[in-house]
C-alpha cells in the first residue's frame, strides 16, 4: 500500500511517499518545497512527481494550514485553494483526505517515541483523556485529540485567531499598543508566530516597560528579525531581546493553559511548531509554566497536566501518513 502524505504550511511544504508493508510504515521519497515559490498545490505535486517518478498511490492525506470546510481549504497564509475533488481527479484516486495542519500534527504526536519530547511540567500525570496541541510557527495553530475511551480523534480549530487576553499590566500595555497596529482585532497569532517576537521587541523599545535604555538592533535587510532577537536573547547579548523572549514564552504558556481548559485536555498538552525547539532553554525555565498555571481556581487541575515539547519537525507529515493508514 502506497500513501502520499503532505504538510502544507505558509513557508514550506513537505511531501513524502510512504509504503505500508507488514504493518510497517516506511518512507520511499521525501522532498521539501518553498510554498511561496509555487502558485498552487497541484504545482507542488507535479514537482514531487518529477523528482520521484511517482507512478502509483493508493491513498493520500494532506495537512494544510487553514480551515477545512466541506473538503475545501483556502490556505491562511498562501493564495491557494485546495479541493479534495480536484485532487481526486488529478491523482486518479478516490481515497483522499484533507486535514487542518494541526489535526495532522496532533495525530502524529500519538506516534512519537518518548525520547522525541521534552517535558515542561515536572508534576504532570500520565492519564487517559483528551489531549491538545498548540504550535507557533509561521502562524499559531491549535487542535485537540478527543478521547472516546478507546481511541483518539483529531479535531482542528482556528483558536490561534482568538482574541489576545492580557494577564499583567505589561500585557495590558502591549494590547493597547498592538491595537494601533491591528485595529479591531488583536489575536494571539499576532504575538505567538514567526513575526510576533520582533513585534514584542518593538513594543518594549517604544514602551515604558523596557528593562533598560537600549537602541534598536542593527538588522540588515532580508534578515529574519524575530530570529535575530531570539538569537541575541539566547546568547544573553541584549537585555531587551531577553525580555521580549521572556514575554513571548509567558504568553505562549498562558494560551496553552487556555487551550487545556477549553478542551479539558487532562491527557496532556503538546507543544509543536518550529519555534519551540529553538527556544528550549527559555521554555524549560519557569516563564512558560507560570503563564500556563495562571488560571486562578483551576491552577491545581492544570498542575497535573503533562506539558511536553515535540522535537520532531515532521510530526504533521507523520500524522497525515498514519491517518491515511488508520482512517481511509
Average pLDDT value for residue range 1-30: 93
- Domains present along the chain, CATH in parentheses: 2-108+314-327 (3.30.420.40), 113-310 (3.40.367.20)
Residue 168 has pLDDT above 90, yes or no: yes
Q: DSSP 3-state helix, strand, coil percentages of the chain (rounded to 5)?
A: 40, 25, 35
Compute the average pLDDT of residues 298-317.
97
- Residues belonging to the chain: 328
- Which among 282, 208, 207 is positioned nearest to 252, based on CA atoms? 282
pLDDT of res. 221? 73
The pLDDT of residue 328: 86
pTM of the model: 0.93
**So what's the pLDDT on residue 212?**
63
pLDDT tens readout for residues 115-161: 999 999 999 999 999 999 999 998 999 999 999 999 999 999 999 99
The predicted structure's pLDDT at residue 187:
98
Across the range 18-33, mean pLDDT stands at: 93
Distance from C-alpha of 154 to C-alpha of 111, rounded to nearest angstrom: 13
**HSE (side-chain half, CA atoms, 13 Å) at 56:** 3
Residue 214 above 60 pLDDT?
Answer: no
Tell me the Cα Rg of the chain: 20
Query: 192: burial class by Cβ within 10 Å (0-12, 13-18, 19+)?
Result: buried
Q: Which of 188, 182, 171 is nearest to 135 (CA)?
A: 188
Mean pLDDT of the chain: 93
Check residue 223 and give its pLDDT.
Answer: 81
The count of C-alpha atoms lying within 13 angstroms of the C-alpha of 202, restricted to the half-sphere facing its C-beta, is: 13
Instruction: Convert the pLDDT of each residue in 65-97 to its tens digit.
Output: 999 999 999 888 789 999 999 999 999 999 999
Residue 3 exposed, middle or buried by CB count within 10 Å (0-12, 13-18, 19+): buried
Please choose, from the candidates 202, 178, 173, 201, the residue with its C-alpha nearest in 3D space to the C-alpha of residue 189: 178
Distance CA 90, CA 160 (A): 32
Beta strand extents in 137-198 (DSSP E only): 140-147, 152-156
Amino acid at each position: 500500500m502506497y500513501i502520499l502524505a503532505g504538510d502544507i504550511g505558509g513557508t514550506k511544504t513537505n511531501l513524502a511517499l510512504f509504503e505500508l508493508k507488514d504493518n510497517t510504515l516506511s518512507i520511499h521519497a521525501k522532498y521539501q518545497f518553498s510554498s511561496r515559490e509555487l502558485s498552487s498545490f497541484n504545482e507542488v505535486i507535479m514537482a514531487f512527481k518529477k523528482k520521484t517518478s511517482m507512478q502509483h498511490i493508493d491513498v493520500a492525506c494532506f495537512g494544510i494550514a487553514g480551515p477545512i470546510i466541506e473538503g475545501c481549504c483556502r490556505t491562511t497564509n498562501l493564495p491557494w485553494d485546495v479541493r479534495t475533488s480536484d485532487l481526486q481527479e488529478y491523482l486518479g484516486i478516490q481515497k483522499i483526505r484533507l486535514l487542518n495542519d494541526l489535526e495532522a500534527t496532533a495525530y502524529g504526536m500519538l506516534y512519537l517515541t518518548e525520547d522525541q519530547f521534552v517535558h515542561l511540567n515536572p508534576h504532570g500525570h500520565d492519564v487517559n483523556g483528551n489531549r491538545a496541541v498548540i504550535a507557533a510557527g509561521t502562524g499559531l495553530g491549535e487542535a485537540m485529540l478527543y478521547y472516546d475511551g478507546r481511541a483518539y480523534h483529531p479535531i482542528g480549530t482556528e483558536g490561534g485567531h482568538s482574541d489576545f487576553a492580557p494577564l499583567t499590566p505589561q500585557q495590558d500595555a502591549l494590547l493597547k499598543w498592538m491595537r494601533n497596529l491591528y485595529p479591531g482585532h488583536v489575536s494571539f497569532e499576532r504575538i505567538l508566530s514567526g513575526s510576533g517576537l520582533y513585534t514584542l521587541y518593538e513594543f518594549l523599545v517604544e514602551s515604558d516597560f523596557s528593562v533598560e535604555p537600549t537602541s534598536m538592533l542593527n538588522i540588515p535587510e532580508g534578515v529574519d528579525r524575530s530570529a535575530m532577537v531570539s538569537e541575541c536573547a539566547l546568547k544573553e547579548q541584549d537585555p531587551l531581546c531577553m525580555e521580549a523572549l521572556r514575554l513571548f514564552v509567558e504568553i505562549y504558556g498562558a494560551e496553552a493553559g487556555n487551550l487545556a481548559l477549553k478542551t479539558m485536555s487532562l491527557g496532556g498538552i503538546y507543544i509543536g511548531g518550529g519555534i519551540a525547539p529553538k527556544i528550549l532553554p527559555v521554555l524549560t525555565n519557569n516563564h512558560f509554566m507560570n503563564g500556563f498555571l495562571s488560571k486562578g481556581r483551576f491552577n491545581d487541575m492544570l498542575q497535573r497536566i503533562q506539558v511536553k515539547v515535540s522535537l520532531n519537525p515532521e510530526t504533521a507529515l507523520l500524522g497525515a501518513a498514519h491517518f491515511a493508514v488508520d482512517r481511509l
